[in-house]
Amino acid sequence: MIIGADKEGNKELVALSDGYRESTISWKETLPDLKRRGLQRALRLSIADGGLGYWAAHAEMFPESLEQRCWVHKTANILDKLPKSMQSKAKDHIHDMYRAESKQSALAAYDHFVTAYKDKYPKAVACLEKDKEVLFTFYGFPAIHWIHIRTTNPIESTFATVRHRTRRTKGCGSRIATLTMIFKLAREAQKTWKKLKGYNLIPLVLEKRIFIDGELQKAA
């Protein structure tokens, strides 16, 4: 599933397709379809979880597009590698990273986490370190957009509705019937999606104006 937004900030379902375990091949079928249906400019920023299939296809189709890993998925993956007794404290440390007011403060919180946990919980730290370069991309965008671009929550909340329905459906029928049902559920969920905050700044983002720690920099 791919969600985008129009110039008024309304979120829209842009693409929905089935695929095998979110593989690169599956995404290579979905992403080119965006161009076929009228996408005229490269994506400025793409937000997704750590699924390698998507990012491999993304790099090939939109090499100039910036990447942002979902912090909700990253947090869950890190905590999964820690004992339950440590998860609450570690979660607070993770929040200190992506809720910081500046990238410098975020990286300081990042360094603190690595130092505090690397000796006893190297797998948790490795999980964080492997995506360092694409976890803090959002600091180069308007601060009012951060709440929208740090996670894939809009998609996850939509799929929660889909999962709830499919669990209660005894056999979804054919592939087309299943896709149709999911499409209708997604379109129904779209009615409740809130507008993007600060959508008036989207043109500046597309113009590649420079934002540092969420603040627009004056043109030289």
**Tens digits of per-residue pLDDT, 42-101?**
788 999 888 778 888 888 888 889 999 999 999 999 999 999 999 999 999 999 999 999
| 93 and 38 fall within a common domain | no
Q: Work out the burial of residue 213: count CB atoms within 10 Å of its CB; fewer than 13 is exposed, 13-18 middle, 19 or more buried.
A: middle
215 belongs to a structural domain: no
CB half-sphere exposure, 27, CA atoms < 13 A: 19
Q: What is the mean pLDDT of residues 122-129?
A: 97
Quote the pLDDT of residue 108.
Answer: 98
| 75 and 117 fall within a common domain | yes
Indicate whether this model's pTM tops 0.85.
Answer: yes
Q: What is the mean pLDDT of residues 108-116?
A: 97
- Residues found in the chain: 220
Q: Which of 61-65, 97-101, 124-128, 131-135 has the lowest mean pLDDT?
A: 61-65
Name the residue range of residue 38's domain: 2-69+138-206
Task: Check if the beta carbon of residue 46 is closer than 8 Å to that of residue 58.
Answer: yes
| 75 and 102 fall within a common domain | yes
| 144 and 57 fall within a common domain | yes
99 belongs to a structural domain: yes
Q: Give the tokens for residue 23.
A: 């593989």
Which of 37, 3, 58, 42 has its CA nearest to residue 196? Answer: 3
| 122 and 155 fall within a common domain | no
178 belongs to a structural domain: yes
| 113 and 80 fall within a common domain | yes
| 108 and 202 fall within a common domain | no
| 157 and 62 fall within a common domain | yes
* The domain boundary residue, chosen from 89, 105, 137: 137
Quote the pLDDT of residue 172.
Answer: 65
Confidence of residue 174 (pLDDT cuts 50, 70, 90): confident
Domains identified in the chain, total number: 2
Which of 141, 136, 138 has its CA nearest to residue 217? Answer: 141
| 85 and 63 fall within a common domain | no
Residue whose token pair is 């996408």 = 39
Question: CB under 8 Å, gap of 24 or more: what pairs does 181-187 form?
Answer: 182/16, 183/16, 185/158, 185/161, 186/1, 186/13, 186/16, 186/158, 186/162, 187/13
| 38 and 96 fall within a common domain | no
Spatial distance between the Cα atoms of 144 and 9, rounded to a whole number of angstroms: 13
Quote the pLDDT of residue 170.
Answer: 64
**Tens digits of per-residue pLDDT, 15-33?**
888 877 778 888 888 888 8
- Beta strand ranges found along the chain (DSSP E): 2-5, 11-15, 45-48, 66-69, 211-212, 215-216
* The domain boundary residue, chosen from 89, 121, 137: 137
| 55 and 143 fall within a common domain | yes
214 belongs to a structural domain: no
212 belongs to a structural domain: no
| 38 and 87 fall within a common domain | no
